[in-house]
Amino acid sequence: MPDIVWKVIVLYFTTILGSRCCFHTDVNPEDNPNIPAIAKYFTTKGRYEEVNPHLIDDILAVNRSILQPPSAQCREIHLTAIIRHGTRYPTSKNVRKMQKLYELVKSSAAAKQSWLREIQTQWRMWYTEDMDGRLVQKGVDDHKHLAVRLSKLFPTMISEEKLRGGFIKFITSSKHRCVNSTLSFKAGLTGLWAITDKEFDHAVNDALMRFFDLCTRFVEEVDNNPSALSEVDKFRQGPEMRRVQEKIADRLRVPYNNITDDMAEAAFYLCAYEFAIKTVNSPWCRLFDEVDAQVMEYANDLKQFWKRGYGHDINSKSSCILFHDLFSRLDKAADENKSGQQVNEAVTVQVGHAETLLPLLTLLGFFKDSDALTSTNYASQTQRSFRTSHMLPYAANLLLVLYDCGGGELRLQPLLNEKTMTFPGLTDQRASMPLYEDVKKHYRELLQGCDFEAECQLFKPPADV
């Protein structure tokens, strides 16, 4: 999108709608023929708009009333935003799976439906291995739009004055999709305020944003250990997944043994990527009904649970370094504010991955169900809170906002994907914005321990004496 067009759009929405624009309650994605009926099950391949459907009609809509500070005295003094990169192309590994499925469908599918003819005669395999997870234009827009919305949600924090004054700091993973998302976020702000005379730096910090690569114990015990995901493998070979594969084979009219669990996953991803990248309700989506999509969603949630979530203790402990960095920023802001100084780092924007966010959310205790996700309890987990379709769409974001409410009273508010949350275990009347000291007491053991070096080293048996 040309810069001048982007500026006109931003200025229009900002001027006409202002920061008081409210959510539409009449948006029903299921009534829109351009949105796949199964889009809400796309897990980490889902659009941000499925989590916040009001954005479908107005991509810059915000609702400041959700913040609800306990008194009019409360003012924001620091905001940290930990954000997943925007919409991206599939990885080369998934492109290869998709290519294999496409070739099978093109050569062997014998069904006569019009959607299948469309795949065989009109659709082309346009994904290539060199795309390998790169940011797409939709991903650029994801971050530009998010930047504008956050500036409307927190206008005293994410402001032109603070950006020009150097009070907003940008940190990113080294991966191209994260660097380009960071550039897009900055472009959203500079476009909003028509800043053309200055550029703003960002720092690449993989120790913070890709901590999982540097945690030896996680790499050895989980990432490179096939048995760590045994529950995932069992589910993929189990009756629910087998039924999905059989239904796909029936719809294509190919032998059952032609459709593997990898093929089913590739078909699901083709539907998801066509929609996320091109906003197309692809004929590939016709291979699934809602029941099938729920099974596919569970398969991916199971993988995330065991690889990045509550399945193994080291998954969350690998994020200790990010946890301590977060609270040290909050403490520094609190100390500067207490001493009457201007908070030096008013806003920190950190861009990483789903694999950055999920271990930290897990460490903080969010989205923990009473029972672990396993290969055998799919039927009893339909109401689970651990659902990556809701937690981790493209451009997912965790915000922690520190408020000074007067008289030395500091409060901390967590938001995920622009929705308020309550810290697990803090359930008083003001649970969505508890006292900062209460939050620190709640996480006391982690603040006193959770040492990245100690947690991440491989424990070796003592040498024989």
Mean pLDDT (whole number) for 15-40: 62
Does the structure show a pLDDT above 60 at 310?
yes
Strand-pair category, 410-416 with 397-404: antiparallel
Instruction: Output 13 or 252, whichever has higher pLDDT.
Output: 252
pLDDT digits (tens, 9 = 90+) for 407-447: 999 999 999 999 999 999 887 656 689 999 999 999 999 99
Mean pLDDT (whole number) for 166-178: 98
Residue with token string 């460490």: 363
Q: Is 85 marked active-site?
A: yes
pLDDT digits (tens, 9 = 90+) for 320-329: 999 999 999 9
* Percent of the chain residues topping a pLDDT of 90: 88
Strand-pair category, 168-172 with 347-352: parallel
pLDDT of residue 312: 98
- Token pair listed for 380: 């009893």
pLDDT of residue 7: 46
Does the structure show a pLDDT above 70 at 298?
yes
Q: Residues 6 or more apart from 209 whose CB is under 8 A from it?
A: 171, 172, 173, 178, 322, 350, 351, 352, 353, 356
pLDDT of residue 426: 86
Does the structure show a pLDDT above 80 at 457?
yes
Q: Spell 203-223 as b/e; 16+ CB within 10 A means b.
A: eebbebbbbbeebebbbebbb
Of the candidates 127, 397, 380, 102, the one whose C-alpha atom is nearest the C-alpha of residue 276 is: 127
Q: Spell 236-255 as b/e; 16+ CB within 10 A means b.
A: bebebbbebbebbbebbebe
Strand partners, 404: 75, 410
Does the structure show a pLDDT above 70 at 23?
no
The Cα–Cα gap between 269 and 447 comes to 39
The Cα–Cα gap between 29 and 270 comes to 20
pLDDT digits (tens, 9 = 90+) for 246-269: 999 999 999 999 999 999 999 999
pLDDT band, residue 225 (cuts 50/70/90): very high
pLDDT of residue 10: 47
Does the structure show a pLDDT above 60 at 464?
no
pLDDT band, residue 203 (cuts 50/70/90): very high
Does the structure show a pLDDT above 80 at 15?
no
- DSSP assignments along 186-208, one per residue: HHHHHHHTT--S-----EE-HHH
Does the structure show a pLDDT above 60 at 9?
no
Confirm if 179 and 85 have CB atoms less than 8 A apart: no
Domains, the chain: 39-456 (3.40.50.1240)
Strand-pair category, 203-204 with 397-404: unpaired
Does the structure show a pLDDT above 70 at 12?
no
The Cα–Cα gap between 397 and 159 comes to 19
pLDDT of residue 29: 61
Residue 4, CA distances (Å) to 9, 168, 187, 191, 451 in order: 9, 25, 12, 9, 48
Does the structure show a pLDDT above 80 at 197?
yes
Vertex 398: Cα angle to 392 and 401 (nearest 5): 165
Confirm if 156 and 323 have CB atoms less than 8 A apart: no
Does the structure show a pLDDT above 70 at 17?
no
Q: Which one from 24, 54, 78, 85 is the annotated catalytic residue?
A: 85
Instruction: Output 431 or 448, whichever has higher pLDDT.
Output: 448
pLDDT of residue 30: 64
Does the structure show a pLDDT above 60 at 5?
no
Does the structure show a pLDDT above 50 at 369?
yes
